[in-house]
């Protein structure tokens, strides 16, 4: 692994199903983030974590949950998917005071 | 909250042309980043530039924090420069390193 790995790359999900998007980084960054990207709306922050064991809500947290059990992993869970959660999801990480964000390659999720 | 405005929203140029992309922000910031999202969706960090000027090959960026704007210059454009360019800022009072994105400038370089 070099950087941030997201899985799956894409997924089609039936409405009402539970889904966890995975994100793993190997840079020992203390902060991690989940964004969703929708046409015309840019990137919007869902949840974030400043350090292992802590999480916080972003701009659009409803319907999503996260956990940060260790430094490397930051999974995003949709408890009961709805079509409005169809989007491209990006995970990112940063180390406070350093050189900016590193993004994963994204997960394209379609809820039908 | 802080507002981040990027202009122009769309730009179509011939290969070899130069371009200037602008990012205005409404409040003081701790840092500012420029990203390029290529046509395959990958987001690449171009510059971390809270103030001053930086250059990387054909790209350079200038941030004037006191006047609340940043400029991204692309010289001698190539088709691989196509994509969306995002500006993202960390508000000055933000203790969480969260950054706010502008809506981007979509650049299309014609061969």
Q: Which residue has the tokens 């999974």?
A: A75
Q: Do B99 and A101 lie within an 8 Å CB cutoff?
A: yes
Beta-bridge partner residues of B24: B5, B69
Q: Angle at the Cα of B27 (from A104 to A46), degrees rounded to 5?
A: 30
Which is nearest to B6 in space by CA: B69, B83, B65? Answer: B69
Within 8 A of A94 by CB-CB distance, chain B residues are 97
Which site among B10, B46, B101, B105 would you substitute to test the A interface, given the most A Cβ atoms closer than 10 Å to its Cβ?
Answer: B101
- Which regions in chain B score pLDDT beneath 50? none
The alpha carbon of residue A39 is apart from the nearest alpha carbon of chain B, in Å, by 10
User: Cα(B60)–Cα(B19) distance, rounded to whole angstroms?
Assistant: 11
Q: Is A7 on the interface with B (CB under 8 A)?
A: no
Please check whether residue A92 is in contact with residue A29, taking contact to mean a CB–CB distance below 8 angstroms.
no
Contacts of A20 (CB under 8 A, 6+ apart): A75, A76, A77, A78
Q: Which residue of A has its CA nearest to B85?
A: A42
Round the average pLDDT of chain A to a whole number and report it: 93
Identify the pLDDT of residue B94: 59
Candidate from A35, A94, A105 with C-beta closest to B97: A94
The alpha carbon of residue A104 is apart from the nearest alpha carbon of chain B, in Å, by 8
Peptide bond into B8 cis (omega under 30): yes
User: Cα(B11)–Cα(B20) distance, rounded to whole angstroms?
Assistant: 10
Residue pLDDT, tens place only, B77-101: 999 999 999 999 988 765 565 788 9
Burial of B56: CB neighbours in 10 Å, binned 0-12, 13-18, 19+:
exposed
Q: Angle at the Cα of B107 (from A23 to A40), degrees rounded to 5?
A: 60
Helix locations, chain B, DSSP H: none
User: Cα(A86)–Cα(B20) distance, rounded to whole angstroms?
Assistant: 33
User: Cα(A74)–Cα(B17) distance, rounded to whole angstroms?
Assistant: 42
Q: What is the mean pLDDT of residues A84-93?
A: 96
User: Cα(A52)–Cα(A70) distance, rounded to whole angstroms?
Assistant: 5
Residue pLDDT, tens place only, A14-69: 999 999 999 999 999 999 999 999 987 789 999 999 899 999 999 899 999 999 99
Identify the pLDDT of residue A95: 82
């Amino acid at each position: 692994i070099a950087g941030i790995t997201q899985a799956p790359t894409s997924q089609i999900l039936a409405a009402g199903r539970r889904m966890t998007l995975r994100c793993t980084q190997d840079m020992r960054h203390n902060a991690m983030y989940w964004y969703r990207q929708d046409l015309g709306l840019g990137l919007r922050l869902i949840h974030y974590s400043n350090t292992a064991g802590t999480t916080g809500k972003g701009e659009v947290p409803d319907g999503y949950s996260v956990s940060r059990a260790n430094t490397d992993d930051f999974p995003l869970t949709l408890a009961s998917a709805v079509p409005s959660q169809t989007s491209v999801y990006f995970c990112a990480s940063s180390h406070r005071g350093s050189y900016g964000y590193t993004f994963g390659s994204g997960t394209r999720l379609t809820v039908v | 909250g802080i507002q981040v405005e990027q202009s122009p929203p769309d730009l179509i140029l011939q290969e070899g042309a130069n371009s200037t992309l602008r990012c205005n922000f409404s409040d003081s910031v701790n840092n500012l980043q420029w990203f390029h999202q290529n046509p395959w969706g990958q987001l690449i960090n171009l510059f971390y530039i809270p103030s001053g000027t930086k250059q990387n090959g054909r790209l350079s960026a200038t941030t004037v924090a006191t006047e609340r704007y940043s400029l991204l210059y692309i010289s001698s454009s190539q088709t691989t420069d196509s994509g969306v360019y995002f500006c993202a800022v960390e508000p000055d009072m933000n203790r969480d390193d969260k950054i706010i994105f502008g809506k981007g400038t979509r650049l299309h370089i014609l061969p």
